[in-house]
Amino acid sequence: MEKTVHVNIIDYTPEPDITDLEALSKMGMSQAEYFSLSDQSIKADAGKPKLTLVPQQIIFDIARVREYGLKKYGTSESWKSVDIQRYRDATYRHFLAYLADPNGVDQESGLSHLSHLACNVAFLCELEKHNRKENET
C-alpha cells in the first residue's frame, strides 16, 4: 500500500549531501553520525531488536553446551523434539546447582551449571514461542 506524503515546500529543508563532509561538519556531525540517525530511508530497522546489546558471553556459553549436545546426541535439532517439561526440570536443576555452588560444573559435561541453565532457558524461549504461535492458529 503506497502512502502519499504532502510536504510544505516553505518548511522543507533538503537532506545534506552525505558525501559533502564540509556541509555535514557545519551541521555538527560526521558522516558516520549521519548514517546512525534513525532515518528509515537509509536502513529500515525500526522495531528490530538491537542484538549487540546482548552480552556475548551467554552466546559463547550456549554454543559450548550445544557443541557438547551435538557430540552426545549426534544431531543439532534433537532438542526440538524433547518435551518442554524436561527443559523446565533441567533448568531448575541447573539453577539450584548454580545457587549451591556458583563455580560448580555439570559432572557429565564438565561445563558450568550456569552455561547449562542459559542453554535450557534458550530452548524454553524457543519452544514457548512455538507454542504461542500454535495457540494463535
CA angle 101, 113, 106 (to 5 degrees): 95
Percent of the chain at pLDDT above 70? Answer: 72
Residues 21 and 62 in one domain: no
DSSP string, 6-57: ---GGG--PPP-TT-HHHHHHTT--HHHHHTS--TTT---TTS--GGGS-HH
What's the structural domain count of the chain?
2
Q: Are residues 66 and 10 in the same domain?
A: no
Burial 54-83 (b: 16+ CB within 10 A, else e): eeeeeeebbebbeebbeeeeeeeeebeeee
Secondary structure (DSSP) of 80-136? GGS-HHHHHHHHHHHHHHHHH-TT-B-TTT-SBHHHHHHHHHHHHHHHHHHHHHHHH
- Residues 84 and 125 reside in one and the same domain: yes
pLDDT digits (tens, 9 = 90+) for 45-74: 778 889 999 999 999 999 999 999 999 999
pLDDT range class, residue 22, cuts 50, 70, 90: confident
Question: Are 70 and 110 in the same domain?
Answer: yes
Confidence of residue 18 (pLDDT cuts 50, 70, 90): low
Structural domain of residue 14, as residue ranges? 1-43
Cell of 2: 503506497
- Residue 115 sits in the same domain as residue 90: yes
Domain identity same for 32 and 69: no
Whether residue 123 is found in the same domain as residue 69: yes
Mean pLDDT of 109-136: 93
